[in-house]
C-alpha cells in the first residue's frame, strides 16, 4: 500500500530509469511519503525493489516482515539514510509520518485476519492448522476526518471483527483470489484448495459476497484476483453476480477517493 | 535475459495471477526454458521474483550472483525442485539446457567487460578504481547455425575484445544509459558521472557510437536507457543522430530475430 501525502500529484512512478541513492531532488521526486507492507509474501514485498532508488519515505511493516527485509540484503537498495523503517505493531493504531517525521494526517492499524504464512517460509513448518494472528493482517487506514478504508488482500474467512470493521469503513478492499475453493484443482493448475492457500472464495454460502451481504453503505472492491477467477471477465455470469451484489472488481490504474 | 526454446510461442508472461509451486502443467506453461542473469544489480535479479512461481527453468548466473541469490531467502520462491541453478563460468562457453536437461540449441559465453559492482554492495568497498572482470559481464549467445547475439547492458568502455566480438555478431544489445557523462549532474539528479556509475556515454569522441562506427553489418540496439537520455524521445536531435549512425533504440515489446 503506497500512501500519497499530496493527493493532487499523480502517484504513478516512472520506472524506466536508472536510480541513484543520492537522487532525491525535486526533479525526480514522487508523492509517495509512506509505504505499508501488508505481509511477507513475495507479492507484498517485491515492489520495494522497483521503487525509485534514493527516494525518501517511511516504511511500515510487521516485525517478522521487517526481519525478512533486514535479512535479505537486496532490500538494502533502500538507502537507510533516506528510508526510515518502522515496525507496525499488532492491533495498535499508528500515526503515519513521512521520512522526515512530518505527520501525514493518517492513522493505520494492523489487525489480525485468518490466513497463512508466506509460501517461501513453508518448508519445515507445520501447516496442519492455518497460522493466524501474528503473520496475516488487514490494514485499517483512517484520515483526519475519521473516514476509514480497509485493505485486506488475503483472508481465509470473514470473522465478526472484520465484519464490524467493514460496517464502519467507507471502502473495503478485499481478497478476491478465487471464485470457488477447488478452482485451481479443477483447472488442473494446482493440488491446493483455496482454504489451503489461506483464501476465502468469492462465491458460495461461506463465501465473501454472502459474508458481507448486510453491508449496503460500504463500498466493496475485490483485489488480489487470481487469473483463474472468472470475475476478471467483465461479461461473465460471475462478474455480473459480483456487480449485482454491490461489489467492484479492481483494475490497473483504478483510483478511489476516501 | 529470458531464453525461449519455442520461438513460435509468445514470450510474454501473464503476471496478474497467484502462483503456486506445484503448478507447472501445460495450462499455465510458458516458453521460458532458461534464464541467464547478466549481473548482480537489482534490475538484473528482481525479475526473478515476478516470474511465474512453479515454472521449471534453468537459471544461469555468475558465481557471485548465485551467492547473492542463495543468501537472499526471498529467491527461494524459485522452487529448487523445478528451477535448476547453474553457475555461469567466466569466459567459457556453456551449452544451454532446460530444467530437465534437454539441450536448447544455444551456447552462451560470459565475458568480462569494464564496469562496477552492484550499488547495494558498494558500502565499505574501495571504489577508487572500477571493479572489472569478475563482476561485470557481457553475454554472447550463439545458435546452432553459428549466429551470435551480444548482450551488454552495462559497460564502462569499449575494449578491443568487445569490438572484435561485435564484428562477428549479428546483433549487439548495448548499454545506452547516458547520452553524455555529466548528464545526471547537469540535470541536478545525482553527483555521479557516467564513468562513476560504470557506464560509457552514447555520444562523444570516446562514446559508444564512435567506438562502434566501423561496424556496418552488425545490427546495433541500445538498451538499459536512463530516462535522462534524450534518445528516448523519437523526435530529438540525439535520437536522429543515433538512427543516422545505424543504431536502434530498444522499446518495450521489441522483438528481434537472430
Distance, CA of B125 to CA of B113 (rounded, Å): 20
Extract the C-alpha cell encoding A122: 513453508
CB contact under 8 A, A72 and B68: no
Between these two residues, A80 and A52, which has the higher pLDDT value? A80
- Do residues B173 and B149 touch, judged by C-beta distance below 8 A? yes
Rounded Cα distance between B77 and A122, Å, is 10
Q: Residue B26: how many CB atoms within 10 A of its CB?
A: 6
Q: Is A18 on the interface with B (CB under 8 A)?
A: yes
Put simply, whether A187 touches B (Cβ < 8 Å) is yes
What is each CA distance from A143 to A105, A138, A258, in whole angstroms? 6, 17, 8
Task: Say what percent of chain B tops pLDDT 90.
Answer: 64
H-helix segments, B176-226 = 183-186, 194-197, 208-211
* Nearest residue of chain A to residue B186 (CA atoms): A27
Q: Best mutation site among B14, B16, B18 for testing chain A: the one with the most A CBs within 10 Å?
A: B18
The shortest CB-CB distance from B42 to any of A20, A27, A77 is to A77
Half-sphere exposure of B258 (CA within 13 A, CB side): 20
Q: B173 forms bridges with which residues in the sheet?
A: B151, B221
- pLDDT of A120 higher than 70: no
* Residue A201 scores a pLDDT above 80: yes
Per-residue pLDDT, A80: 92
Which of A69, A74, A153 is most worth mutating to test chain B (most B CB atoms within 10 A of its CB)? A74
DSSP letter (8 states) at residue B178 = B
Q: In this predicted structure, which of A7-16, A47-56, B203-212 has the lowest mean pLDDT?
A: A7-16
Q: What is the ipTM of this complex?
A: 0.77
Q: Which of A155-159, A222-226, B184-188 has the lowest mean pLDDT?
A: B184-188
For the ranges A90-99, A186-195, B121-130, which has the lowest average pLDDT?
Answer: B121-130
Q: What is the mean pLDDT of residues A29-49?
A: 90
Residue range B147-258 forms a domain whose CATH class is alpha beta
CB contact under 8 A, A119 and B53: yes
| Residue B26 predicted with pLDDT over 60 | no
Please indicate if any CB of chain B lies within 8 Å of the CB of A177.
yes
B50-72: per-residue pLDDT in tens? 887 778 999 999 999 999 999 99
Decide which of B244 and A117 is more confident. B244
How far lies B66's CA from each of A55, A89, B37, B61, B125, in Å?
A: 28, 35, 9, 6, 20
State the maximum Cα–Cα separation within chain B, in Å, rounded to a whole number: 54
- Residue A118: closest CA among A63, A64, A173: A64
Q: How long is chain B? A: 258
In this predicted model, what pLDDT tens digit does every residue of B121-160 receive, in sequence order? 666 666 555 555 467 899 999 999 999 999 999 999 999 9
Of B146, B136, B208, the C-alpha closest to B174 is B208
Q: What residues of B are in contact with residue A46 (Cβ under 8 Å)? A: 46, 49-50, 74
DSSP assignments along chain A, one per residue: -EEES-TTS--PPP-SS---TT--SGGG--SEEEEE---SSHHHHGGGGGSPTT--EEEEE-HHHHHHHHHSGGGGGS-TTTEEEEE--BT--EEEE-TTS-EEEEEEEEEE-S----GGG-TTS--SS---TTS-EEEEEEETT--EEEEES--SS--HHHHHHHHT-SEEEEE--BSSTTHHHHTTS-S--HHHHT--BSSSTTSHHHHTTT--SSEEEEES--TT-GGGSTTSHHHHHHHHTTEEE--TT-----
Residue A13: band (very low, low, confident or very high) from pLDDT cuts 50, 70, 90: very low
Do the Cβ atoms of B117 and B156 come closer than 8 Å?
no
Which of B189, B222, B227, B233 should we substitute to test contact with A (largest number of A Cβ atoms within 10 Å)?
Answer: B189
| Residue in B55, B47, B40, B41 with CA at minimum distance from that of residue B1 | B47
Q: Using CA atoms, how far apart are residues B238 and B204, in angstroms rounded to an integer?
A: 12
Amino acid at each position: 500500500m503506497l500512501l500519497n501525502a499530496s493527493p493532487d500529484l499523480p502517484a504513478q512512478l516512472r520506472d524506466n530509469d536508472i536510480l541513484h541513492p543520492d537522487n532525491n531532488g525535486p526533479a525526480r521526486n514522487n508523492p509517495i511519503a509512506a509505504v505499508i507492507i501488508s505481509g511477507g509474501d513475495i507479492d507484498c514485498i517485491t515492489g520495494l525493489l522497483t521503487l525509485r532508488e534514493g527516494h525518501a519515505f517511511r516504511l511500515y511493516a510487521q516485525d517478522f516482515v521487517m526481519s525478512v527485509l533486514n535479512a535479505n540484503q537486496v532490500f538494502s537498495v533502500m538507502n537507510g539514510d533516506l528510508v526510515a523503517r518502522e515496525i507496525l505493531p499488532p492491533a495498535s493504531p499508528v500515526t503515519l509520518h513521512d521520512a522526515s517525521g512530518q505527520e501525514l494526517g493518517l492513522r493505520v492499524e494492523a489487525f489480525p485476519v485468518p490466513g497463512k504464512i508466506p509460501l517461501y517460509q513453508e518448508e519445515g513448518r507445520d501447516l496442519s492448522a492455518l497460522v493466524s494472528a501474528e503473520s496475516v493482517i488487514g490494514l485499517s487506514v483512517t484520515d483526519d476526518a475519521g473516514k476509514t478504508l480497509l485493505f485486506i488482500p488475503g483472508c481465509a474467512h470473514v470473522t465478526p471483527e472484520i465484519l464490524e470493521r467493514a460496517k464502519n469503513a467507507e471502502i473495503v478492499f478485499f481478497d478476491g483470489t478465487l471464485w470457488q475453493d477447488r478452482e485451481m484443482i479443477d483447472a488442473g493448475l494446482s493440488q491446493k484448495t483455496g482454504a489451503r492457500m489461506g483464501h476465502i472464495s468469492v462465491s458460495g454460502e461461506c463465501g465473501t459476497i454472502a459474508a458481507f451481504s448486510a453491508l449496503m453503505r460500504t463500498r466493496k472492491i475485490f483485489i488480489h484476483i487470481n487469473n483463474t477467477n472468472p470475475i476478471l471477465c467483465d461479461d461473465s455470469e460471475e462478474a455480473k453476480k459480483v456487480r449485482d451484489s454491490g461489489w467492484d472488481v479492481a483494475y490497473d490504474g483504478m483510483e478511489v477517493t476516501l
